């Protein structure tokens, strides 16, 4: 045998023997091994509002340092004003792509649960709330909404507009972007349907009669 094969065989045998000795020398195989630092594995827990001698002020719940941003709550430096809505439209971009089926599916779920009540399934503003007397919202498939940039719509979802409240406390930032992605899909469908209707109307319109050429000079009709 080669020296390397002999060494590997010896190491394998030593490993198997160490497992056998470890198992046989345990006083109770079902009992865990000895813990060298039990305080690290089983640390003392304090309730949020209980006294805590480990801090100078004796409190468990510590006041956050100035400037700390909670996880998932990144600040948006836009005020609820029309000027900042336009600025958001220029500066913010949708991080999700229409080619992402999971984002579109999530956007449909968000729209169905939070937007359809007022805007309706097609986004034209005929939802159940509007049909029962509440002022109907603007159509999401109208020309004005189509021309709005994603960032401006995101600003509207974040701060609200008119009778529409803010959804920042109910929808995460990503879900707001996904809902916008779904609305863009509704707008695309509405444009395609309008184009088909226009083509059908042109095809069904009667042909204009041919113009009669003018009679030669000196001749009477």
pLDDT of res. 152: 96
46-65 pLDDT per residue, tens: 899 999 998 999 999 999 88
Query: Would the pLDDT of 73 be above 80?
Result: no
Instruction: List, in order, residues 6 or more apart from 44 with CB less than 8 Å away.
Output: none
**pLDDT given for residue 4 in this prediction:** 83
CATH number of the domain located at residue range(s) 82-201 in this protein = 1.10.760.10
Q: 109-155 pLDDT, tens per residue? A: 999 999 999 999 999 999 999 888 888 999 999 999 999 999 999 99
Mean predicted confidence (pLDDT) in 20-33: 72
Q: Does the structure show a pLDDT above 90 at 102? A: yes
Domain boundary assignment for the chain: 82-201
Rounded average pLDDT over 6-27: 83
Contact partners, residue 136, CB within 8 Å, separation at least 6: 118, 125, 126, 130
Contacts of 51 (CB under 8 A, 6+ apart): 58, 59, 60
Phi/psi for 52 (5° steps) reads: -140, 115
Reported as a single tens digit per residue, the pLDDT across 174-217 is 999 999 999 999 999 999 998 998 888 888 877 666 666 666 66
């Amino acid at each position: 045998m080669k020296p390397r094969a002999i060494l590997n065989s010896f190491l394998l045998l030593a490993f198997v023997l160490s497992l056998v000795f470890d198992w046989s020398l345990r006083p109770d195989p079902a009992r865990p091994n000895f813990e060298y630092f039990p305080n690290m594995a089983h640390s003392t827990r304090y309730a949020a509002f209980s006294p805590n001698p480990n801090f100078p002020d004796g409190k468990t719940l510590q006041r956050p340092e100035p400037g700390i941003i909670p996880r998932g709550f990144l600040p948006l430096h836009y005020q609820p004003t029309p000027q900042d809505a336009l600025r958001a439209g220029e500066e913010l971009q949708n991080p999700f792509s229409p080619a992402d089926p999971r984002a579109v599916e999530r956007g449909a779920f968000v729209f169905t649960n939070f937007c359809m009540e007022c805007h309706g399934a097609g986004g034209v503003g005929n939802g159940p709330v509007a049909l029962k007397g509440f002022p109907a919202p603007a159509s999401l498939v109208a020309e004005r909404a189509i021309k709005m940039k994603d960032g401006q719509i995101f600003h509207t979802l974040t701060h609200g507009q008119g009778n529409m409240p803010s959804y920042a406390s109910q929808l995460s930032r990503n879900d707001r972007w996904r809902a916008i992605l779904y609305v863009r899909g509704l707008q695309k469908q509405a444009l395609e349907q309008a184009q088909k209707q226009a083509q059908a109307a042109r095809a069904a319109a009667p042909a204009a009669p041919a113009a009669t050429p003018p009679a030669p000079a000196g001749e009477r009709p």
